[in-house]
Amino acid sequence: MPVLSVHRVTPYVSYLADGTQYIENEVVFPASGTTTIYLSREIFGCGSYVLFDYTASSSANPVQNLGNLALDISDLLLAGSYSITNVPTQKVVIATLNANPSNGTQYVEGTLNLSGATTIVLAPELYATPGTYVLFEYGSLVGSITNITILPPGGRSVDTGVSPNGCADTGTTITVTLL
pTM to 2 decimal places: 0.74
Q: 133-175 pLDDT, tens per residue?
A: 999 999 999 999 999 999 998 888 999 999 999 999 999 999 9
What's the whole-number mean pLDDT along residues 113-119?
91
Computed on alpha carbons and rounded to an integer, the radius of gyration of the chain in Å comes to: 20
Q: Are strands 69-72 and 35-38 parallel, antiparallel or unpaired?
A: parallel
H/E element, 119: strand 118-121
pLDDT for the residue numbered 13: 57
Instruction: Note the pLDDT tens digit of each residue in 102-113.
Output: 998 999 998 999
